[in-house]
Chain A
Amino acid sequence: AQSVSQHNHHVILSEAASLELGCNYSYGGTVNLFWYVQYPGQHLQLLLKYFSGDPLVKGIKGFEAEFIKSKFSFNLRKPSVQWSDTAEYFCAVNAGGGYNKLIFGAGTRLAVHP
């Protein structure tokens, strides 16, 4: 069965620090990959997605992610975090199937201190 692993459950950073959140998935075929963000009290929002093409994708708010097929990874990065980036981040995979369902990782809670 497909699965998604996020290795960092809770990350604490100071403002201006660099961020990298790990995401690995298990599926041997073609995948679509996503990072979602959930700010406190708000609904899930799409940060970025990878379908095909350039494995380095850029999303909103200065985030980017790199798809490394050989490592089954899709890590999220931001060079300099802000306090407003405090949120929970979810990696998700769509591994095909009839209805394009998403499999989510457990999430990483990021706290950015001023």
Chain B
Amino acid sequence: GAVVSQHPSRVICKSGTSVKIECRSLDFQATTMFWYRQFPKQSLMLMATSNEGSKATYEQGVEKDKFLINHASLTLSTLTVTSAHPEDSSFYICSAGLEAGTYNEQFFGPGTRLTVL
């Protein structure tokens, strides 16, 4: 149980275009989903936290107009990288929170590798 999927797994796009990444919790409902970015040989950096039906909470330094997050249902959150540039190339990982008592245990998706040419 507690499986999280991401689509696509890899995407290559031209500079200036927008890319949408989907994150789905397959066998549970997630009121909270998280989006991370992982640079090569570095750790995961939290970009934003999204709650179903409300606006996402962005971490300091993350441009909300560039990284649009929508959490329209309890099983789906999307991250749209708008007007992508080469510096946005990275590995994007989502996680979905499953309530375990007072804590939302996070289950991670397999990630999406974005390459902007």
* A residues in contact (CB < 8 Å) with B: 32, 36, 42-46, 49, 51, 90, 94, 98-107, 109
In Å, the complex CA distance between A16 and B102 comes to 39
Assess the A101–B46 pair: CB atoms within 8 A. yes
Across-interface contacts of A45 in B (CB, < 8 A): 108
Top-8 shortest CB links A-B: A44-B108, A43-B110, A99-B49, A104-B43, A100-B104, A106-B43, A104-B44, A43-B108
In Å, the complex CA distance between A40 and B101 comes to 32
Assess the B43–A90 pair: CB atoms within 8 A. yes
Most A-side CB within 10 Å, residue of B32, B51, B101, B108 = B108
List 10 extra interface pairs beyond A100-B106, A102-B46, CB under 8 A: A43-B108, A49-B105, A99-B51, A99-B97, A99-B104, A100-B103, A100-B104, A104-B43, A104-B44, A106-B42
